[in-house]
Structure 1
Amino acid sequence: MDTLITPDIIARRKRKTLLAVAALLASLSVAAWAINRVVSPSVGVDDVSIATVRIGNIANTINASGIVIPVHEELVSSPIQTRVAKVHAKLGQQVQAGELLLELDSRTILLAIDSLKEQLAQQENRIVALTLEMEQKRKQLTSAIELLQLDLEATRVRLGRYQTLRKAGGASAEDLLTAELNVKRNEIQLRQHHEQLADNKLVTNSNIEGARLQKSILQKQMQEQQQLLAQSQVRAPFAGMLTWLMAEEGASVAVGQLVAKVSELNNYKVEASLSDFHARALNAGQKVLVEQGNVRLNGEVQTVLPEIQNGTVKLLVTLAEPHHAMLRNKLRVEVNIVTEQKQNALLADSGPAFNGRGPQDIFVVRDGVARKTTLNIGASDGKSVEILSGVRAGDRLITSDTSRYKDRDSVRVAQ
């Protein structure tokens, strides 16, 4: 016979059922959590770089590699083909203006100078000889002219007497004609002697001018050789450091070959090199930040060199502090060329997660989960990047390399 189930028993059975269902649901939740822990990828907070989005100012820059060079540097070359006779200085030493660095063999120059001296003496003697010859001929012709003038006067007197006698019938026509011809002959001879005197003076003066011109040419050649002789004593053009020197005595040297280089001390600029991809964005006058370690120096683009070699463009940068103690010749530095500046922009620390400008997927961390979010990236100065859209100030971004999670929409960030 059936018996009625008491309400207490029914309630107890319901509680057991509810407890069983709750236990089952808890087990399923734990199992799901455990499976999620096993299947879903996670990353330790210490294994990634996380940056907080902030508001600040940023200067968009183009990065380049640079090398420190002296503002003033002078190359000293050999004026002749010769050899190094004697070296007086050492590479790297500080030198004063005019200090003797090395001597070149000058024997060929000395021989050329001796030859020129002899040629100059010959021209001097020629000028003297031509002058004496002209004076001697002048005296001879002057004496001949004086005699001809006397003869002309005598023949004119004789002609006058015959003309008087002819009128009186005391002289024949033939005698009168002879007297007239003698006067004309003397006049012609006198005129010829005057012309000969002028021609002789003209010719001799021309020869003397030619000798003087040749003398002037030889004197200029002498000056050139004397300058070459002075240049064979290679001296420092100004006070500075000897940064290059042909220090091997007896070494052959060609005309125009570099034998020494002197650089100005404690006055530097920077030569920067970068890809010609950025050539259109470069202009003289742009602000520049030069970095070496923890030292930062402000500068300005002095000039962009027009020639592009092997896909590389070069530019020269003047420094606001060209005498800074950090600067050394040939020191390598980082050069950041400022192309634009922005105020009150959303910024985040730069990292491998960012790849240039434009839209790109970045993991944004919220509540322990990094979710892939499309951000629009703007300017960059190498230290920070500008975020145009996709986040707000205070958000946290993973800035380290996340390429292994590129196919995931989210990643857990384990504390």
Structure 2
Amino acid sequence: MDQAIGIDILRHRRLLRLGSGILLCAGFLGAAWGINRAVRPGVDAADIVVAEVRRGTVDNTINAAGVVIPVHEEVVSSPGMSRVARVLAKPGQQVKQGELLLELDDREIRLALESLKEQLAQQENKVATLGIEMEQKLKQTASAIELLEIDLQASRALRERNRKLRESGLVSGQDLLTSELNVQRNEVQLRQQRALIEDTRRATAGSIAAAKLQQAILQKQIVRQESLLEQTRVRAPFSGMLTSLVEEAGASVAAGQLVARVSELNNYRVEATLSDFHARQLEVGQPVRVEQNGEVLAGRVHTILPEIQNGSIKLLVDLEQPHNPMLRNKMRVDVNVVTGHKADVLVIDSGTAFNGKGRQPAFAVRDGMAHRTLLELGASDGKVVEVVSGARPGERFIVSGTGAFKDLDNIRISQ
């Protein structure tokens, strides 16, 4: 005979069925969650950098590569073709103004100088000789004039005597004419001799002037050769650092070749190089930020060099702290030229996820997910970038590289 199943047993069976259903649902959900994690791509939170949109200020800057150079630098060149005779200093050492750095072979310059001095002495002798010769000619001419004056007086006396005798008929007309012609001849000779004095003086003065002009030319050449001779002893033009020097004794140097360079100590500026694409945005006086190893120095554009080489333009930047101990000659630095300033705008930290201005994809981070969206970016100073549209204050975006998932719409962020 069948017996009725107890209430406790029925209750127990219902609980077993309910528990089995719950476990089955939990298993199903767990499997779905596992499959979802396996299929949906994700990124580790430690592998990305996330920044928050906020209000702030941003400078529009142009990036350039810079190198630290001395404000004052002078080079010393070889005065002519020569060779290094003796080296007395080394690059990198501090030198004082006038200190002897090296000596060049000066034999050819000395020979040329001696030749010029000999030519000058010849011209001096020529001037003296011309003066003596002129004095002798003038003396001879003066003596000839004295004799002609005596002859003229005698011929005039004879002419007067013949005139009186002609009136008495004691001399012929031919004799009177002869005496008159003698007077005229003596007068002509006297005028010629007197003119000869002036001609002699003018001719000699011209020769002396030519000789003195040659003297002056030779003296200038001598001064130049003496200057070249002095330049063979290469000295520091001012006190500073010897940054370059021809160190090899016996080395040949060409005329005009740099043999030494001296730079001013602890007084620097920056030479920046950037693409000529930005040339129209550059102006003298623009603020500049110079960065090196996290330290920032302020400056301003001093000179925009007009020449463009290989698509690049150069600037000279004056620093507010040109004596900063961090600066070293030829040190490479990052230069940011400020072309504009914006205040109270939306900004976000700059990163490799952003590429210049304009609309571009970005990943907004919400609830453990990164969602692809579009941002319009504006000015940037290398540290923050302006967000023109596409975001609100407080929203967070991935600012590190997104190349691994740039084509996806959603990315799971694992903690």
* TM-score, L = length of structure 1: 0.92
1:363-409 CA-partner distances (Å, limit 9, x unpaired): 11122221111111111111111101111111111111222222322
1:244-268 CA-partner distances (Å, limit 9, x unpaired): 1111111111111111111111111
| Partner residue, 1:195 | 195
Matches of 2:291 and 2:81 in 1, distance apart? 44
Give, in angstroms, the shift of residue 166 of structure 1. Answer: 2.0
Is 1:251 aligned to 2:234, yes or no? no
Is 1:347 aligned to 2:321, yes or no? no
Secondary structure of 1:308's counterpart equals coil
Give, in angstroms, the shift of residue 16 of structure 1. Answer: 11
Matches of 1:119 and 1:64 in 2, distance apart? 60
- Counterparts in 2 of 1:220-231, with a 5 A limit? 220-231=220-231
Q: Which amino acid in the other structure matches residue 391 of structure 1?
A: A
| Partner residue, 1:76 | 76
- Counterparts in 2 of 1:277-316, with a 5 A limit? 277-316=277-316
Matches of 1:396 and 1:152 in 2, distance apart? 128
Matches of 2:126 and 2:358 in 1, distance apart? 88
Matches of 1:103 and 1:407 in 2, distance apart? 69
- Counterparts in 2 of 1:208-287, with a 5 A limit? 208-287=208-287
Matches of 1:146 and 1:14 in 2, distance apart? 171
Give, in angstroms, the shift of residue 294 of structure 1. Answer: 2.2
Give, in angstroms, the shift of residue 233 of structure 1. Answer: 0.7
| Partner residue, 1:47 | 47
Is 1:147 aligned to 2:142, yes or no? no
Give, in angstroms, the shift of residue 319 of structure 1. Answer: 1.0
- Counterparts in 2 of 1:3-402, with a 5 A limit? 29-402=29-402
Give, in angstroms, the shift of residue 23 of structure 1. Answer: 7.4
Give, in angstroms, the shift of residue 109 of structure 1. Answer: 1.4
Secondary structure of 2:324's counterpart equals coil
Matches of 2:119 and 2:74 in 1, distance apart? 37
Matches of 1:305 and 1:266 in 2, distance apart? 24
Give, in angstroms, the shift of residue 283 of structure 1. Answer: 2.6
Higher deviation after alignment, 334-343 or 272-281: 272-281
Q: Which amino acid in the other structure matches residue 319 of structure 1?
A: L
Q: Which amino acid in the other structure matches residue 168 of structure 2?
A: A
Secondary structure of 2:306's counterpart equals strand
Matches of 1:358 and 1:60 in 2, distance apart? 14
Secondary structure of 1:144's counterpart equals helix
Matches of 1:401 and 1:258 in 2, distance apart? 48
Give, in angstroms, the shift of residue 278 of structure 1. Answer: 2.5
Matches of 2:309 and 2:295 in 1, distance apart? 30
Segments of structure 1 that go 5 or more residues without pairing to the other structure are 1-11
1:89-135 CA-partner distances (Å, limit 9, x unpaired): 12111111111111111111111222122111111111111111100
Higher deviation after alignment, 328-337 or 246-255: 246-255
Give, in angstroms, the shift of residue 304 of structure 1. Answer: 2.3
Matches of 2:190 and 2:398 in 1, distance apart? 118
Q: Which amino acid in the other structure matches residue 411 of structure 2?
A: V
Give, in angstroms, the shift of residue 228 of structure 1. Answer: 0.7
Matches of 2:218 and 2:314 in 1, distance apart? 47
| Partner residue, 1:8 | none
Q: Which amino acid in the other structure matches residue 326 of structure 2?
A: M
1:279-338 CA-partner distances (Å, limit 9, x unpaired): 332232221100011211111122222323233222221111111111100101111111
Q: Which amino acid in the other structure matches residue 109 of structure 2?
A: I
1:209-260 CA-partner distances (Å, limit 9, x unpaired): 1111111111111111111111111001111111011111111111111111
| Partner residue, 2:411 | 411
Matches of 1:241 and 1:405 in 2, distance apart? 54
Matches of 1:17 and 1:113 in 2, distance apart? 123
Give, in angstroms, the shift of residue 28 of structure 1. Answer: 5.2
Secondary structure of 1:362's counterpart equals strand
Q: Which amino acid in the other structure matches residue 110 of structure 1?
A: R
Number of aligned residues:
405
Q: Which amino acid in the other structure matches residue 107 of structure 2?
A: R
Matches of 2:370 and 2:19 in 1, distance apart? 36
Q: Which amino acid in the other structure matches residue 165 of structure 1?
A: L
Matches of 1:92 and 1:37 in 2, distance apart? 63
Matches of 2:107 and 2:337 in 1, distance apart? 54
Give, in angstroms, the shift of residue 172 of structure 1. Answer: 1.9
Matches of 1:187 and 1:154 in 2, distance apart? 12
Matches of 1:408 and 1:85 in 2, distance apart? 72
1:150-172 CA-partner distances (Å, limit 9, x unpaired): 21122112212222222233332
Higher deviation after alignment, 295-304 or 94-103: 295-304
1:344-380 CA-partner distances (Å, limit 9, x unpaired): 1111111111111111111111222211111111111
Matches of 2:32 and 2:344 in 1, distance apart? 45
Secondary structure of 2:308's counterpart equals strand
Secondary structure of 1:307's counterpart equals coil
Matches of 1:27 and 1:93 in 2, distance apart? 80
Matches of 1:357 and 1:43 in 2, distance apart? 27
Give, in angstroms, the shift of residue 79 of structure 1. Answer: 0.4
Matches of 2:316 and 2:194 in 1, distance apart? 75
